[in-house]
Structure 1
Amino acid sequence: MSDRSFRFTHAVTRRPSASITAGLRAVDTGTPDLALMLAHHADYIAALKETGARVVELDPLDAYPDSVFVEDTALCLPDGAVIMRPGAPSRLGEAAEMAPHLKALYGEVRWITGEGSFIEGGDILTTEREILVGRSARTNAAGIDELARLVAPWGHRLREVVTPPGVLHFKTDCSLLDAETILSTPRLAASGCFRGYRVILTAEGEEACANTIRFNDLVLMPAGFPATRDRLAAEGYALREIGNSECAKLDGGMSCLSLRFTPRR
């Protein structure tokens, strides 16, 4: 069984800025506590480093309150990176800020450039066999079509799927656990988009922990979801629970906080 979809040598993160309190949110559940978010972010970076990865830690960007959520800015594949075009106008500049850092690590960096194209990394799940892209409020058909054309020469096939109503990103409701296994909320799994994969469902009332990441030998998951944690532990996954209370106030989860890849130079 291949492991290229979850075994990585590099990760890119960005330290939260003081402006994070002005970050976008679908529902206002309170203002994030910067000090606590910084502590959680440090735990997250430590866990990535523990797996042996090289972690690039970028400085805060006060001009972009949501810039800690670096995953939305790019899709990183072995052969190259694609700079996204975020669907939230206030986040467009974040992608441009990320580009030079990826150019330093990759031989080839491509861009989503269409004026009508919008796509964010939070809507993209890369598996061993395909790239699933969820249509959402932040990712449209034009963005998906443009991405498909850009990655086809690298041998990747895209499949468009539908993000459930009221869900910000496709990966808000799912994550890859290994080459054949996906953690999903029941509502997303019911759509049939994961037919052919093994699916582990989040426990009732714990849908908010569907966004985890498998990074090398660790599964990083948000703390506070014991029933789902126990399901994953029973399946033999090595788990690391990390506080996510402050990022969750901005609709953020484990995958949002890093770009994860092994560049082929």
Structure 2
Amino acid sequence: MFNYIIARTPCKALIDGISSADDGKPNYELAMKQHLAYLDALRMCGVEILLLPPLENYPDSVFVEDPALCTKHCGIVTRPGADSRRGEIDSIEPALRRFYGDNVERIEAPGTLDAGDVMMVGDTFYIGLSARTNAEGASQLVAILEKHGLTGRLVTMEKVLHLKTGLAYLEDGNLLAAGEFVDKPEFSHLNIIEIPEDESYAANCIWVNGNVIMPSGYPISESKIRDLGYNVVTVDTSEYRKVDGGVSCMSLRF
């Protein structure tokens, strides 16, 4: 059960966000409309939202999932793998302290960690080793988690930006998986719901209090999720996809 959400209003510099896609620059006005609809979808799930102001010096700052990780015992300020995002951590830490007080930890240099590479399954946190999260950052996170009675497990990956680009844990033992993650032995104990290759973007979605919020336009994936018994809410994230963002990237849920 999640009680709180932290999100951030997209800045106008979003159009210059980091991108590996070839879909052009986002339309800022449309991105704002999509973000408001995303927040509305979250509110329908019965959570309280802390909406942070835009950070114009950081084009990717709407993606609050990367500079922080929220657990039930502590908040963790990460050290993003992209140099251009490091400054975001100074503004996310005060938000974490509003909820966690002194129970806020940090990833330190030379470690790097994007929390988009971290997936929570109960008290276990799977940590993807990626271009943004290095072994030192992952090791520091494991130590922090163990300090608070939680567990961290490393996952090697080769093809996607972040672990949660291709995975979404929907609670109840159900895991959406796409591409290289379908046959990963680390997840063999879970009920794997395979997302087809041409709908792989739909693998990035979020469970919020019995609801699944997912990107619109992926009917096969939507049907599979509905068949599991979840209430599905679709949101248009087309402008965020242009800068490598998905549904999970735009909120911290705890």
Give TM class, smaller chain. over 0.9
| Superposed counterparts of 1:57-96, under 5 Å | 57-96=51-90
- Mapped to 1, the partners of 2:88 and 2:157 lie a distance apart of 23
Q: Structure 1 residue 69: deviation in Å?
A: 0.1
Matched, 1:176 2:177: no
Letter in structure 2 aligned against 1:185 = A
1:112 and 2:127 correspond: no
SS of match in other structure, 1:70? coil
Shifted more, 191-200 versus 18-27: the winner is 191-200
1:8 alignment partner, SS class: coil
- Judge which range, 177-186 or 76-85, deviates more: 177-186
Query: Is contact 1:164-1:188 (8 Å) kept?
Result: no
* Paired position in structure 1 for 2:232: 239
Q: In structure 2, what is the equivalent of residue 132 of structure 1? A: 126
Structure 2 residue 40 is the aligned partner of structure 1 residue 54: no
Taking structure 2 as the reference length, the TM-score comes to 0.97
The answer to whether the 8 A contact 1:128-1:179 is kept is no
Residue number in structure 1 paired with 2:29: 35
Aligned residue number for residue 218 of structure 1: 211
Q: Which residue of 205, 219, 225 corresponds with 2:198?
A: 205
Contact 2:157 2:180 in 1 (8 A): no
The CA deviation string for residues 20-76 of structure 1, in whole angstroms up to 9 with x for no partner, is 011001233200011111111111111111111100111111000000000001110
Contact (CA 8 Å) 1:43, 1:242: kept in 2 or not?
A: yes
Q: Distance in 2 between matches of 1:129 and 1:104?
A: 23
Aligned partner of 1:102: which letter?
L
Q: 1:156 aligns with which of 131, 146, 150?
A: 150
What is the distance in 2 between the residues matched to 1:204 and 1:98?
A: 34
1:185/1:55 CA distance change after superposition, 3 Å: same
2 CA distance for matches of 1:61 and 1:78?
27
How many residues align structurally?
253
> Equivalences for 1:178-197 in 2 at 5 Å?
178-197=171-190
1:187-208 alpha-carbon deviations (Å, 9 max, x no partner): 2112323111111111341011
User: Aligned partner of 1:8: which letter?
Assistant: F
Distance 2:134 2:37 in 1: 34
- C-alpha distance in 1, partners of 2:179/2:190? 14
Give CA deviations for 1:59-112 in whole Å, capped at 9, x if unaligned: 111000000000001110111101000000000011121000111111311111
DSSP-derived class of the 2:119 partner: strand
Q: CA deviation at 1:149?
A: 1.0
Which amino acid in the other structure matches residue 193 of structure 2? I
Could you tell me which runs of 5 or more consecutive residues in structure 1 were left unpaired when the two chains were aligned. 1-6
Greater Cα shift, 237-246 or 101-110: 101-110
C-alpha separation in 2, matches of 1:106 and 1:209: 32
Distance 1:71 1:15 in 2: 13
Partner of 1:100: 94
Match of 2:251 among 250, 255, 258: 258
CA distance in 1, matches of 2:82, 2:26: 20
By how many angstroms is 1:164 displaced? 3.0
In the other structure, the counterpart of 2:220 is 227
One-letter identity of the residue aligned with 1:243: D
1:217 positional shift: 2.0
C-alpha root-mean-square deviation of aligned residues, in Å? 1.0
Over the matched positions of the two proteins, sequence identity in percent amounts to: 36
Aligned-partner Cα distance in 2 for 1:199–1:68: 30
**202-211 or 185-194, which moves further after superposition?**
185-194
